Chains A and B, each alone.
Chain A
């Protein structure tokens, strides 16, 4: 139990640092606001090497903490919705044991952007935001694929006795 608690604390810290590192890299995508979501590697890894409970706790705490540390309240709402929908769909797909890591991660990436978009539409009360839907789905799929690739490598190569 103590070992698990320590490990999860480490994972939250790692996810926070990954998210912070990513925020240092300036990106100029076609639609502002798109990013890779490096911190999600931690969620994918935990989802496969432990279980959905651990992955959800770490993902939601990470979002909460980075929202408190670096963001503001509305940013926190978007991130929470994205993280929640993403981890929910990935857990369901993983539980079905019908898909590999990368497709699961792709769905997670799309769900993340979708969750954020839905909250944005609710907060701004303007359905015109759905204009960004195709771009956001595509961006989510691409970043999800890259994160899935990285996650699959980690799941395969990090020794069992470490985790």
Chain B
């Protein structure tokens, strides 16, 4: 058995170190370490509740709106506020913009450059894909960054700027769009659609979103050449490298639900909440516990619900190896993210892929791209539903005492905030981020977290200092380490 410590593990957001025990050409066990701690939960204690809106987006530069939205929901719950229709639509649009930008960034800048490595130069697709996806110098990056920047102009209309906006408010949005601005917003969405259809998919978004079985996807692949689009290029590579075999975790998926379609009615969300393990279960946040047995924190006797959780650093704790806590749902290791959202939402292709091969490198990446194709048309519709002249924001009184939660879906999965207010100040603020779920360390029963499970069995070639299979698996989760520990 040889031990390999991989770090700094880059093209992920934030700091990550992975320790592998390797034998017989495969990973036998993995330990995932988040090596940085900042202490936002401690920083927030004692502050005015509304100040959370300044601090929590700054947990994460790439999921900042999701953090704002979770805080805004918690504060809204404390004040019994329901945003008006325009406020709800603006919040959906803002969150969706961030989700899409993150999916795009992940695909082009974080995930695909690994296939441009010299190790793959003998593959048939390399002559085309290598120069296209190469890190820093690839042709794709000089197309994608301007397209992404043009798309994110909608943030100047919806949120003033991105990242780190304060436009996402408990009672709606601070940024009322006027008639001409709703037209600009719609035009910018249509421009981005054009880029996606031309460059990413080589097909209409509707055609991609309605792929409804593995057979339909195979037919789609077989009816166009490998260079037809970047999605098609990925599918060629995935088929050749059999990415479907890599990175299977617990095959239990959690989604908090996202994009409410009516005031205060989460159950009418575009993507509903739930847990999927081959059959559907209700997602009740009361079933969540955070285990800190292998994390550098002082611990209570049993894992606590986040509403009763604490964050007290304790270095030199025996057996601990990460700053990441280990959240569990009904004691189980679950995976969250676009794949979980789409499988819970019942997107037929994703359901079929998960039934056939579970969560793996291939299904995670396809789910993200399917989600792009599903969300943008919704954004176009939401832009059309804005009613300039009608209210965007309502306000209320913060009570002296409150115990509330806010849950949203960030690009990377379920994000929860649990807030306690005492004597008008933040008494406790606990955050469980998507990658906290996916990259958790072992729990008290010794059960490894989702990525730790997914890495077991990953093939390692002789002499590989940074095994490619491991890189594909890790990046397939699109981890956000700065959210993970915060």
Partners in one complex: no
Which residues of B come within 8 Å of A, CB atoms? none
Query: Which residues of A pack against B, CB within 8 Å?
Result: none
